[in-house]
Amino acid sequence: MLSSTPRPKLLITIVNYCTSHFVIKCLCSLDDEIPKNGDIFVEVVDNHSQDNSEETLRKAIKDHHWESWVNLRISPQNKGFAEGSNFAIIPHLHSATPPDYVLLLNPDTEVRPGAIKNLITFMDAHPQVGIAGSRIENMDGTARYSAFRFPTATSEFLGGASFGLFNRLLSRWTVIQPIQSQPHSSDWVSGACMMIRREVFDTIGFMDDHYFLYYEETDFCLRAKRAGWECWYVPHSIVVHHVGQSSQVTGEHNSNRRLPHYWFFSRRYFFRTNYGIVYALWTDMIWLIGATFGIFKRLLRRKKGNNRPHLLRDFIYYTFFPRGLKQ
């Protein structure tokens, strides 16, 4: 039970791993929003960073006089984003007066003016909505895809093939939804900025900490939808995301990096947990068929395809021979 921490209407959680300089920028962007939006509290979780993050963050909180609305929690281990978020969320939701909403916010984000208020206002006005996500932008103001459909066998084929014609013909099955200027329902939204109603946790529990990174927000939104909660994209809430700075995996500047083993585990775990082993194996085979088609297509056209090194080899190894991976 919490004893001295304020009981906010909104709890914002930020999970840090060796990105304290981005966390400070994120907190600076929140600085002006906190007094405008009332009872908000921020929990920064340092996920056992192997640098001087704890000292840097403690100094920043003191120097900026953020003590009244920011708390730094030190996790004794790094078991991923889901567990780091739960580490901050659970004590508040188990308190005598839990927050109405929880906002998951990436450490490498900066909120634009009104972003927090617009999400709260939307959620207050739509009690059937359990999860809402912001419009995610690059630093130049261009929008990033942040509203999505749930992955299926068809979308896995399209992802493996990476073939524009197939994507156009089967667009209704692609994971990415077109960027829209008005709020709309979606299967799931980017976990870079995702607001969750407290009652959703009461209904389905916390985030599944078997995921180290990736697919955890997809899984959570799917569980919420199955429990009857709606998920919406709210473009009037704008958040800038320095994509890939916290994970060093996503984003254009990381597109030539080898995918880490936990990405393959998360994908495999998502399909097996939510759809069963038979469907999961089917999606694996469909992805391989698509990837093989994509390779031959690129060879015939003498074009470079996916820049991820050893992607096909790693997919086969980590999907069908996953010994040593987190279970």
Between 30-44, 185-199, 211-225, 234-248, the lowest mean confidence (pLDDT) is in 234-248
**Predicted pLDDT of residue 254:** 46
Mean pLDDT in residue range 4-31: 89
CATH architecture designation of domain 10-149+186-254: Alpha-Beta Complex (3.90)
pLDDT digits (tens, 9 = 90+) for 288-322: 998 888 777 767 766 655 567 788 889 999 988 86
| pLDDT for the residue 247 | 47
What is the Cα–Cα distance from 287 to 305, expressed in whole angstroms? 15
Count of CA atoms in the C-beta half-sphere (13 A) of 172: 0
Which range, of 124-128, 156-160, 197-201, 210-214, averages the lowest pLDDT?
156-160
Confidence of residue 324 (pLDDT cuts 50, 70, 90): very low
pTM of the model: 0.90
Q: Cα separation of 124 and 122, whole Å?
A: 6
More confident residue, 199 or 174: 199
DSSP 257: S
pLDDT for 181 equals 95
Cβ within 8 Å of residue 132, ≥6 positions away:
119, 122, 123, 189, 194, 195, 231, 232, 233, 234, 237
Question: For residue 279, what are the contacts with CB-CB under 8 A and spacing of at least 6?
Answer: 153, 271
Residue-wise pLDDT for 88-119, tens only, equals: 999 999 999 899 999 999 999 999 999 999 99
Q: Is 65 left (phi over 0), alpha (psi -120 to 50) or beta?
A: left
- Cα-Cα-Cα-Cα dihedral of 257, 262, 86, 138, to 10°? 20
**In the chain, alpha helices (H):** 20-31, 33-36, 53-63, 81-93, 115-125, 153-161, 164-169, 198-204, 216-226, 261-275, 277-301, 311-320
Residue extents of the structural domains in the chain: 10-149+186-254, 261-320
Which residue did the predictor score with more confidence, 247 or 65? 65
245 band by pLDDT with thresholds 50, 70 and 90:
low
Concatenated DSSP letters for 132-192?
A: EEEEEE-TTS-EE--EEPPP-HHHHHHHHH--HHHHHHTGGG-SBPPP-SS-EE-SEE-TT
pLDDT number for residue 10: 96
- Amino acid (1-letter code) at residue 118: N
Q: Looking at per-residue confidence, does 2 or 258 come out higher?
A: 258
68-77, 91-100, 169-178, 261-270, range with the lowest pLDDT: 169-178
The answer to whether 104 touches 19, Cβ cutoff 8 Å, is no
